[in-house]
Structure 1
């Protein structure tokens, strides 16, 4: 017998009364208001959901209006998902024609079935990117480091760079460089808008002029940003190789007090790791929604025996999507750093926004306050 619950994500969730186990079955039953000629796909944040590839995981057609998909999942995983017709141009919408936000839930320790009605689909027209490039950027394509996939580098130059040719500038290094400045290259058409933010703060006299260096990610992102052999090479590539490359080409201030690293999610984790391992080269790190502790990984344990570093650390997190899972690691890292001697609102800043999602748009909102901690004028 199943108990019926009405929940706030606009679908009905049925939870079976089967006993807990190592894995449970999650089932999605989709009802369409209108039949479609194309196949229906589920897409989401796990490999079995296509890892955000909209044409990987085809649902089973029950009849003209009903589709289904089931998979075994470990309890406590956070699942985010959407539905497409095999292309991001054709996504499920609400009854008003608005693209549905990611649905999300944490897998309980019981078999779970979602019953969701899809009203209609987006019309296939290209979405207009939100934002633009402000200021001057330079691209360095196919930056090569032995042991890593080649990647592009984007460099944003401050307003006075070409008019004041004697001036030198601090540098902010960022991961997922395709998402930070140019909406045309950003994963979902929304960038961090670090160019607009920094330009505006500089012109208001609130921020020093800085150079921003963005290192694009590759298909090896998880290994590059993780505590892996390849990750060790990547961390050195940013701290030594890329920094040397940028310092030789641009008019930088290469000293520790003028060098900061930043990123989000896995990029937030690797930013912390780089600053911690190369604390003689970096003033500190901006770690947004960092994956300090996720599933079987625990970086807090990795630095347990380390002594305090001369660093400024900024950590933040949202309260929705995967940030719910990441909050435990944020809390544990904050506690661990304070035990080492870091002091809140001195050399450690922790910011929590319970209404924020795990997204470029929300990281962009928190970026102005974060960057001013490091380069305030």
Structure 2
């Protein structure tokens, strides 16, 4: 079944909603509403998967968690690496146990070709020397055939899409708690970076961010790399108010995650400098965890409990 929705915002969207059992991930708990080709004034249309818990009812208001890399969240049979976050299982278990507040999850699919450009924090990027920026854009490769950045960095536009287009749609069509105190954002790797960037750029929208395996190096090396310094300097200058915001960080010790500890320790110092405590900030190290959905799935309860706890 397909339906066309015309939404009357300050901006008019045309969204094609496709409901196909073949394309929508299979979940163990809850249901997924899919919006295919969610149009944007900022970039090409994206697929959006909205997960609703089994007990969802329009008669109740729900917190909202926005997650990046939305195609990786629910169904390993449909992902490129046959791994998933297991969001539906972990969310449902924690909600049934009354450990976290009731919540819906909005998964924003990535565009694999532009993912690095969409998720790399733009203001820190622009503080890099022009010669280094040009080198990143034109010389650094993802593999032997593909540049790491297919286009210029545009994470500011990605966040405008989230805040100006997607969130108004979600709040209009679902039974949500609209205020920042009940709006959260989460991602891993580059998704961790853009989650950190989102809460710093839009502290009036997001009250909590979870940054798993945050890709502080920005590329694939920590040697002579000025990127982490720019990320940390940006964080130092733009952290939100610790009285009203929460940040969660973690990292493993294997594969790409093995690069992160020195930079995460610097971030931890910045958090303490700005008077974040264990009430509003958590950093966890997971020995033996690698850089994968399987690893993030195994510890997903930790950021969820930190951001959404009923305690």
TM-score greater than 0.5 by the shorter chain: yes
Which of 164, 167, 177 is residue 253 of structure 1 equivalent to?
A: 177
Aligned 8 A contact 1:170 1:253 in 2:
yes
Instruction: Name 2:128's counterpart in structure 1.
Output: none
Distance 1:203 1:214, change over 3 A: same
Query: Which TM-score applies when normalising by structure 2?
Result: 0.75
Q: Give CA-to-partner distance per residue, 1:48-103, whole Å, 9 cap, x none.
A: xxxxxxxxxxxxxxxxxxxxxxxxxxxxxxxxxxxxxxxxxxxxxxxxxxxxxxxx
Look up the SS of the partner of 1:304 in the other structure.
helix
Aligned 8 A contact 1:138 1:156 in 2:
yes
Instruction: Name 1:301's counterpart in structure 2.
Output: 233
Distance 1:355 1:209, change over 3 A: same
Aligned 8 A contact 2:121 2:193 in 1:
no
Q: Give CA-to-partner distance per residue, 1:261-295, whole Å, 9 cap, x none.
A: 00000000100100111111111100000023444
Instruction: Name 1:325's counterpart in structure 2.
Output: 259
Aligned 8 A contact 1:239 1:274 in 2:
no
Look up the SS of the partner of 1:305 in the other structure.
helix
Distance in 1, matches of 2:61 and 2:85, equals: 25
Aligned pairs for 1:95-244 within 5 A: 132-161=27-56, 164-218=57-111, 219-228=113-122, 229-244=153-168
- Segments of 5+ residues of structure 2 without an aligned counterpart are 1-25, 123-152, 219-224
Instruction: Name 1:366's counterpart in structure 2.
Output: 299
Look up the SS of the partner of 2:255 in the other structure.
coil
Distance in 1, matches of 2:212 and 2:238, equals: 22
Aligned 8 A contact 1:283 1:312 in 2:
yes
Distance in 1, matches of 2:287 and 2:63, equals: 32
Instruction: Name 1:262's counterpart in structure 2.
Output: 186
TM-superposed CA distance for 1:232, in Å, is 0.6
Look up the SS of the partner of 1:202 in the other structure.
helix
Q: Give CA-to-partner distance per residue, 1:2-55, whole Å, 9 cap, x none.
A: xxxxxxxxxxxxxxxxxxxxxxxxxxxxxxxxxxxxxxxxxxxxxxxxxxxxxx
Aligned 8 A contact 2:51 2:106 in 1:
yes
TM-superposed CA distance for 1:325, in Å, is 1.1
Aligned 8 A contact 2:42 2:161 in 1:
no
Q: Give CA-to-partner distance per residue, 1:180-233, whole Å, 9 cap, x none.
A: 112233231111001011111112222222100000000200000012351110
TM-superposed CA distance for 1:296, in Å, is 3.7
Is 1:312 the counterpart of 2:262? The answer is no
TM-superposed CA distance for 1:372, in Å, is 1.2
Larger Cα Rg: Structure 1 or Structure 2? 1
Look up the SS of the partner of 1:322 in the other structure.
helix
TM-superposed CA distance for 1:133, in Å, is 4.3
TM-superposed CA distance for 1:370, in Å, is 1.3
TM-superposed CA distance for 1:138, in Å, is 0.6
Query: Which TM-score applies when normalising by structure 1?
Result: 0.62
- Segments of 5+ residues of structure 1 without an aligned counterpart are 1-130
Distance in 2, matches of 1:142 and 1:267, equals: 21
TM-superposed CA distance for 1:139, in Å, is 0.4
By relative contact order (CA 8 Å, sep 6+), the higher-ranking structure is 2
